């Protein structure tokens, strides 16, 4: 007979604040295929699904032309020597899987979510996409037409234009982190360009594989069968990111519609990347400034001034050297400049006085709670490991970040604010 548990609902149960909880990663297992490709995986018997991600050094930094990396990645699934784009799509749909093609600044690849029992049927399809894309001319033309139409629509949106202009101001129009596509870039795409980029960068021994879910032993054998082949040719994949060529003028106003009532406001600067000793403190300071609903910017510009429904701040790392600190808001056109002044006002406050302990503790609890939510389950765990491994980091680096978030003092954040929040280092874009 089971014991009876009595709950007194007149008293609130005790709560453990996130700061008191352990934030750590579960260990992964790593094997190597016959060609040396590492497979990082986390097994979970209670899952019926699998997440498989195959990553290549084929990101934007390797592209000599705009769209070279992203178009190659997007069009790889548009037909192989054995299957058309339609047949590939129908197979993925038949098995209820989701295929995600992505291009990031450093890497590109394909992730697939599926029931574990369907991996033997879908792995050959993924192998074809990654190793045998045809880039049919008719699919390229369709891609060009669709993307140019999307671009025309997007260039009428103030938020999209503001983001493009800010990236260009921060890094320069030819920099991998600052360049934006034009219609002429889509027109310049051709089959030989895409095949050449694929041949150079989607080389099997250069891949990294991440896997999570219900993993049978035979699945690892299947991965080796398909992705354990040696390279057909020698490869050397090195890319040097040039320093930013930031604009001399720190302020830009761009008009799309003279009658527009709303303006997109962007305030940003270049920061050191995740390789910097200051990066973790900057990430915490960003949350205080504009990284959650109770932030300084939200309290002032939304709650007190009523200029916007939302204002947000993010530190976006491109690599170990460079990151962007970006503040974004959509506001009434007549209060765009007032919004920028209030942003700087909040920056000055962070440079002039330490963050009160009560506020800092609330931010820490929010941030730790958010990080815990991102580690819920094997898929989220392996994605975090993916992020660390692709950055050449390990569990110790993650532990140091958590330690910084938990122990940082108001004085430490005051010091980092004084070194990075001076208004003359920021760029401003207003688009309406």
Tell me, what CATH number does 255's domain have? 3.30.830.10
Task: Judge whether 166 and 340 are in contact, CB under 8 Å.
Answer: no
Q: Are residues 145 and 270 in the same domain?
A: no
**End-of-domain residue from the set 168, 194, 228:** 228
Domain shared by 36 and 155, yes or no: yes
Whether 343 and 284 map to the same domain: the answer is yes
Measured distance CA(75)–CA(101) in Å, rounded: 9
Instruction: Look at residues 55, 22, 231 and name the one whose alpha carbon lies nearest to residue 126.
Output: 55
Domain C-terminal end among 228, 243, 259: 228
Q: Examine the domain organization and report whether 178 and 37 are in the same domain.
A: yes
Q: How far apart are CA 225 and CA 315, in angstroms?
A: 41
Please tell me whether residues 378 and 283 are part of one structural domain: yes
Contact 355/289 with Cβ under 8 angstroms? Answer: no
Predicted confidence (pLDDT) per residue in 263-319, tens digit: 999 999 999 999 999 999 999 999 999 999 999 999 999 999 999 999 999 999 999
Residue 53: C-alpha distances to residues 221, 324, 342, 379, 384 (Å): 16, 27, 43, 10, 13
Stronger pLDDT, 195 or 12, i.e. the higher one = 195
Residue 3: its pLDDT value, please?
A: 63
Residue 244 lies in a domain: no
Digit-coded pLDDT (tens) for 256-265: 999 999 999 9
The pLDDT of residue 9: 79
Mean pLDDT over 91-119 rounds to 97
Average pLDDT of every residue of the chain:
94
* Burial per residue of 13-47, b for 16 or more beta-carbon CB atoms within 10 angstroms, e otherwise: eeeeebeeeebebeebeeeebebebebbbbbbeeb
State the pLDDT at residue 2: 54
Residue 196: both structure tokens together: 């050449």
Q: Does the pTM exceed 0.85?
A: yes
Question: pLDDT, tens digit, for every residue of 42-86?
Answer: 999 888 999 999 999 999 999 999 999 999 999 999 999 999 999
In a domain, 397, yes or no: yes
Q: Is the dihedral of CA 301, 304, 308, 311 positive or negative?
A: positive
Asked, for residue 42, whether it belongs to a domain, the answer is yes
Same domain as 287, residue 160: no
The separation between the first and the last C-alpha atoms of the chain, rounded to the nearest angstrom, is: 70
Residue 239 in any domain: the answer is no
pLDDT digits (tens, 9 = 90+) for 178-219: 999 999 999 999 999 999 999 999 999 999 999 999 999 899
- Residue 3 maps to a domain: no
Pair (67, 209) in one structural domain: yes
Q: Are residues 94 and 221 in the same domain?
A: yes
Written as six digits, the tokens of 307 are 């200029």
Whether the pLDDT of residue 231 is over 80: the answer is no
Out of 228, 243, 269, a domain closes at: 228
* 259 and 161 inside one domain: no
pLDDT grade for 14, boundaries at 50, 70 and 90? confident
- Residue 20 resides in a domain: no
Tell whether the model's pLDDT for residue 247 goes beyond 60.
yes
Domain of residue 160, residue span: 29-228
Q: Are residues 191 and 258 in the same domain?
A: no
Overall number of domains in the chain: 2
Task: Specify whether 301 is located in the same domain as 367.
Answer: yes
Mean pLDDT of 89-106: 97
Of 317, 177, 180, give the one whose Cα is nearest residue 241.
Answer: 177
In eight-state DSSP terms, residue 27 is P
Confidence of residue 220 (pLDDT cuts 50, 70, 90): very high
**173 and 318 together in one domain:** no
Residue with tokens 């009434």: 332
Q: Say if residue 238's pLDDT is above 90.
A: no
Is position 176 within any domain?
yes
Q: Is residue 238 part of a domain?
A: no
pLDDT above 80 (res 119): yes
């Amino acid at each position: 007979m089971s014991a009876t548990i009595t709950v007194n609902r007149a008293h609130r149960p005790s709560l453990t604040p996130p700061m008191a909880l352990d934030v750590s990663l579960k260990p992964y297992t790593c094997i190597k295929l016959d060609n040396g490709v590492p497979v990082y995986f986390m097994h979970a018997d209670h899952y019926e699904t699998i997440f498989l991600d195959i990553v290549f050094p084929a990101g934007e930094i390797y592209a000599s032309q705009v769209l070279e990396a992203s178009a190659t990645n997007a069009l790889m699934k548009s037909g192989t020597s054995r299957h058309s784009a339609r047949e590939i799509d129908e197979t993925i749909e038949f098995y209820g899987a989701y295929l995600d093609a992505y291009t990031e600044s450093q890497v590109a690849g394909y992730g697939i979510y599926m029931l574990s029992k369907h991996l033997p049927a879908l792995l050959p399809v993924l192998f074809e996409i990654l190793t045998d894309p045809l880039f049919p001319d008719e699919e390229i033309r369709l891609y060009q037409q669709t993307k140019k139409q999307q671009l025309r629509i997007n260039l009428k949106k103030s938020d999209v234009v503001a983001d493009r202009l800010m990236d260009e101001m921060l890094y320069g129009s030819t920099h991998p982190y600052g360049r934006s596509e034009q219609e002429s870039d889509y027109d310049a795409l051709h089959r030989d360009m895409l095949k050449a980029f694929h041949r150079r960068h989607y080389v099997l021994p250069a891949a990294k594989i991440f896997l999570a879910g219900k993993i049978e032993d035979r699945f690892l054998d299947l991965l080796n069968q398909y992705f354990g082949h040696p390279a057909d040719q020698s490869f050397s994949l090195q890319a040097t990111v040039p320093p930013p060529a930031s604009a001399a003028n720190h302020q830009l106003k761009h008009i799309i519609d003279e009658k527009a009532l709303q303006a997109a406001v962007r305030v940003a600067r270049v920061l050191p990347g995740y390789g910097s000793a200051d990066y973790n403190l900057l990430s915490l300071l960003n949350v205080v400034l504009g990284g959650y609903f109770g932030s300084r910017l939200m309290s002032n510009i939304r709650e007190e001034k009523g200029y916007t429904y939302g204002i947000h701040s993010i530190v976006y790392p491109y690599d170990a050297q460079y990151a962007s600190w970006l503040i974004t808001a959509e506001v009434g056109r007549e209060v765009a400049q007032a919004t920028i002044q209030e942003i700087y006002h909040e920056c000055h406050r962070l440079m002039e006085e330490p963050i009160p302990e009560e506020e800092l503790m609330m931010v820490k609890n929010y941030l730790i709670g958010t990080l815990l939510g991102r580690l819920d389950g094997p898929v989220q765990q392996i994605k975090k490991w993916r992020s660390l491994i692709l950055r050449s980091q390990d569990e110790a680096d993650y532990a140091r970040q958590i330690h910084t978030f938990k122990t940082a003092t108001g004085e430490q954040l005051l010091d980092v604010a004084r070194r990075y929040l001076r208004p003359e280092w920021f760029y401003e874009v207003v688009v309406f």
